[in-house]
Amino acid sequence: MSTSRASEHLTAVLQRLAGPQAIPRADQLAAVEAVLKPAARVLVVQATGWGKSAVYWAATTALRKAGGGTTLVISPLLALMRDQVAAAGRANLRAESINSTNIDEWDPIFQALEDNQLDVLLVSPERLGNPAFAARLPQLLAKTSLIVIDEAHCISDWGFDFRPDYQRLARSLLAAPNAAVLATTATANQRVTDDVRKQLGHGTAVFRGTLARTSLRLSVIPGLSAAERFAWIADALTTLPGSGIIYTLTVAEAERLAGFLRACGFDVPAYTGQIETADRLQIEQQLRNNELKAVVATSALGMGYDKPDLGFCLHLGSPGTPVAYYQQIGRAGRALAHAEAILLPGTGDEAIWEYFATANIPNQENADRVLKALAGQPQSVVDLEAATAIRRGRLEALLRILAVDNAVKKDGSKWVATGRPWIYDARKWDTLIAGRNEEAGLMRNYAHGRGCLMAYLQQALSDPNPAPCGKCSVCTGQLPEPGTHPSANAIHQARNFLRQQDVIFEPRKIWPKGCARKGTISAKLATRAVAFADDPGWTEELEELVRSGLTVIPSDLLDGAISLLQRWKTTWEHRPALIMPAPAIDSEMQGNRQLATHLSSIGRIPLLDSFSWQGSACPENLPSTSHVNHLEKTIRLKNFPTPPAGPVLLCATTARSCWTLTLAATLLTEAGVQSVMALVLHRRP
């Protein structure tokens, strides 16, 4: 297709999307021309806001006008799909999406495809592994002229644990003989670019530009405590321009920060992968309409969310890689001359990086256990967890990797072995781990402000033209308000708020499969904790508790336990009639006894120490079945008197899975206790 034809369609699309004054840039036009070549393979690595979507909408309009088929867009997030469907409509294209939330609409969408009435179809990578969708895939590919892989860094091995199903693309969609393939991303360094280009195939045309964002002013606010970071954000929201996104590293932190900001009078909701789709849609639209000052979000609100006038992007805690950080701050300042991107690093960030960097790395032993368990018959995840003694989260991540490598497949609700062996590729995974450690080092340097922040991101992302920006907090020596000192009032509010956030445990309801105990758990157990994970309200106290080996409880934590009980008692039917230290190994029992003795003294409630622990501690990361079986051998209740008239209150310094508390409550129930409460100082993740 001639340059003039490519220019005609690109100009038309840009003017529909950005206004009548918009004109194509030479690099955009070159990318469209490359896509329109027969069976093209094209990779575009350009900064957010460059106009990558305009390239594939223009190519689609040109192909459709020439009698071509539908464009298939692989898109990783529902929020991104919704924005892309809307953008395609503005480009005068009819677009639909197929995802897990609209199964009832699949048939009419495929009928529109069959009738050649659909210009664009968006699907998530997971659809490729869905049997119902896979059955329709040949029909779909026969009608496809262009395949677009959005956020294409995910098809690299380096994105394996974000969307493993992206790697199916190299074996299915990329093998389509007639369709052109366009891969786009704003967050690929040279290593990832080379990896993606290799997967796209020989002759791939790469269009890579500078990743510098001239509209962004980058800042790092170092040295703040957890409460001070909360306070800093509350103060900053009174001066930051427009509306924005505040990113956190975990769901718990997002919910906690949103709650604090609401308590300060800001209309700031939490947006995470755990909220309902309808609520996500509402929050996205409210932010887009500037009805909210900010949204506190995890990475669930990230790639592709389209709000060109987003005025700021804050990070409470550092993402583990410059790629992840750059991708998220790319939401801000797309159509503004100035936007703020501010990082407030925390002392616990690196522990979170390490967990996410290694949690889903497979190993040969676990893979062999899974394949052996599946050799006899199909198994559900619950059955596999019991059979393999692999914790649920790691098991599900491993199954996804084995499925991508065709060693297992999903059959309804169960998993089936394909008969194909799986061999751990030590070179691949060791290289990946080393690379992630290197990227963590880069992010560490960024968070400490060791050089121009924009140039640092450019270098980390292999930008061909890194240069000092002259406007970041390192280049200018100036920090956005309130600088390094949030107001004393905001700090006081933050500390009080954080120390009153009780952690309520959902009780265990069913004994895990493979245990001696079966069926429903009869014990009535209500459990609350003073702190969860690296709780920002108790950072220093938790560190002190851990340093003591859980044997000496800081006085502030003891006071926090009393405050928790005072808040909790508003829901009690009966006051606790007896206090007991929860069972634990000897090294932890001292802390449990200190807590129980303190609460007994303050509340004037009788104290009884009747639990014992025989044997070793439970190994970390045991699945539920193995954990409960171990506890059955170690926990004993001895010399228990006549059951009290009211509940028993168990006291524990720490808990994770809560199986220890559940079994202790069960033993008490079997001894005649009607109900059990448990107070925990620290709930570990």
For the stretch 657-669, pLDDT in tens is 999 999 999 999 9
Q: What is the DSSP letter of 569?
A: G
Number of Cβ within a 10 Å radius of residue 310: 26
Those residues whose C-beta lies under 8 Å from the C-beta of residue 309, and which sit 6 or more positions away, are 242, 290, 334, 335, 336
3-class state of residue 487 by DSSP: coil
- What are the angstrom distances between the C-alpha of 448 and each of 6, 28, 55? 46, 36, 38
Which of the four pLDDT bands, split at 50, 70 and 90, describes residue 1?
A: very low
The Cα 248–Cα 221 span in angstroms is 15
- Give pLDDT, residue 456: 85
pLDDT in tens, 82-120: 788 888 989 999 999 988 778 888 889 989 988 999 999
Report percent pLDDT > 70 for the chain.
Answer: 95
**pLDDT band with cut points at 50, 70 and 90 for residue 3:** low
Q: What one-character-per-residue DSSP string does 371-434 give?
A: HHHHHHS-B-HHHHHHHH---HHHHHHHHHHHHHTTSEEEETTEEEE-S------HHHHHHHHH
Identify the DSSP state of 225: -
The confidence score (pLDDT) of residue 622 equals 82
Report how far residue 294's alpha carbon sits from residue 296's, in angstroms, rounded to the nearest whole number: 7
Amino acid at 3: T
On whether the pTM is more than 0.75, the answer is: yes
- Hey, what are 625's tokens? 């079945």
Check if the beta carbon of residue 309 is closer than 8 Å to that of residue 335: yes
Q: Is the dihedral of CA 275, 280, 283, 288 positive or negative?
A: positive
| 123-131: average pLDDT | 75
Categorize the per-residue pLDDT at 533 as very low, low, confident or very high, splitting at 50, 70 and 90: confident
Of 354, 356, 433, 419, residue with least CA distance to 393: 356
CA neighbor of 315 nearest in space, from 301, 329, 327: 329
Cis peptide before 482 (omega within 30 of 0): yes
Domains of the chain, CATH where assigned:
3-208 (3.40.50.300), 216-353+444-498 (3.40.50.300), 363-423 (1.10.10.10), 503-683 (3.40.50.2020)
Select from 460, 466, 468, 438 the least CA-distant residue to 187.
Answer: 460
Most confident of 14-23, 330-339, 358-367, 646-655: 646-655
More confident residue, 433 or 672: 672
Do 472 and 453 meet the contact criterion of CB atoms below 8 Å apart?
Answer: yes
* 456-485 pLDDT tens trace: 888 888 887 788 999 999 999 999 999 999
- 3-state SS, residue 636: strand
Q: Average pLDDT for residues 220-227, to the nearest whole number?
A: 92
Q: What are the residues facing 296 on neighbouring strands?
A: 246, 270
pLDDT per residue as tens digits for the range 264-310: 999 999 999 889 888 988 999 999 999 999 999 998 886 667 788 99
Give residue for tokens 């502030």.
Answer: 556
Tell me how crowded residue 86 is: count the other CB atoms within 10 A of its CB. 12
- Angstrom distance (rounded) from CA 82 to CA 47: 21
